[in-house]
Amino acid sequence: MKPPLELPEDLRRMLRSHSPELESDIERFLETAPAPCLYIRSERVARSPLRPSLLHRLMGHRAARPVLSALDSKFGGIPYVEEADLTWDGFHFLGQLNFAQLGDTPATVPRHGLFALDRDLRAPDGSPHSFRVRWYPEPTEARARPVSPPPCVGRWETRMRFSAGWSLPGGDAWEAPLSSSDAQLRDTWNDWTPAGYLEDEQSPGLHRVSGHRSAGLDEPSAFVPPHGRGRDLQEYTQLLRVAFDSASGFHWGTSWAYVLIHPEDLARNQLERAVVAWANA
C-alpha cells in the first residue's frame, strides 16, 4: 500500500506564503509523484567468504564453496551462463537478478528472465564500459552450462532479499514544481524526507530495482548510450541501482552504479541493450 504523502505544516505555510497556486501545484505534483520499486538486501549464505582474508586464514577458515543455484538472485557464487565461449579473463562476477524471483514486481520490469553483471577489470571504477551486461530471457536449469566458480567482485556469496517500496523523483525533477528562486523554500523542500519513501537513500547498503531516476544521474560521471540511442538521460529508465554492499564485501567509493535502459528496449525485452552509468550516491 502506498504510504500517505502529506506536506509538513511548516512547508505548507512556506508554500502558501508564496502563493495559494504554488501550494496547489505542489499537491497535484505529489498525487502522481510516487513510483513503486523493489529494495534489495543482501544476506550471507555461508560462515566463511568465497575469498578469505589473511585474518580468516589465520583463524583456520577455508574458502567457502558456493551454495546458491545458478538460477538464484545473488551477488557472487556460480553465475548463470548459457554461452559456450564466455570468458572470465579480465572479468569478475558481480551478481545476477532473476526476475521470476522478485515477487511483487513493479509493472515497469520484466516478469521473467535473468540479468547479470560482470565487472571488467580493464576499466577503472567510475569509467564507461566497466561492466559486461548479460541477459537471458528464458533461463532454465537445462540451458545452464556448468562453469567453475569465477572470481567475484565481493568476497562473500549473498542471497538477494526483495521488499516492496516507493520512490520519488530526485534532483532536478523533484525541484521542478517549485518554480521559485527562494533558497530557504528550496532547502526546506529538499530536506523533507516523507516517511515510507526513499528507503534506499536513508538506509546504507540497499540496492533498488526500478522506480524514479536518482538525483545523482543529473550529473553522471560516466555514461555511454547503447548503439542507436541518444545521450539524454531523461530518455532512459533506471532499471537498477547498485550501491556498496557490506554483506557481500564490495564498494564503489563515492559513486554508485546505475543500470539504465531505453523504454523501447525494455518493452521489447531487450535487456542486453542496458548500459551502466556511474554517478554520485
Domain boundaries, the chain: 17-280
Structural contact between residues 78 and 147, judged by C-beta atoms closer than 8 angstroms:
yes
Structural contact between residues 98 and 159, judged by C-beta atoms closer than 8 angstroms:
no
In angstroms, the CA 59 to CA 53 distance is 10
Structural contact between residues 34 and 2, judged by C-beta atoms closer than 8 angstroms:
yes
Could you identify the residue written with the cell 564485501? 249
Using 50, 70 and 90 to split pLDDT, how confident is the model at 125?
Answer: confident
Phi, psi angles (nearest 5°) of residue 100: -65, -15
Could you identify the residue written with the cell 565487472? 119
Q: Residue 6: is its pLDDT beyond 70?
A: yes
Q: Which of 83-92, 99-108, 133-142 has the lowest mean pLDDT?
A: 99-108
Of 107, 99, 93, residue with least CA distance to 160? 99
The CATH classification number of 17-280 equals 2.30.320.10
Mean pLDDT to the nearest integer, 19-30: 92
95 Cβ contact partners less than 8 Å away, ≥ 6 residues apart: 73, 74, 75, 76, 116, 117, 153, 154, 160, 248
Q: Which of 140-144, 168-172, 250-254, 271-275 has the lowest mean pLDDT?
A: 250-254
Using 50, 70 and 90 to split pLDDT, how confident is the model at 87?
Answer: very high
How confident is the model at residue 261, as a pLDDT?
Answer: 97
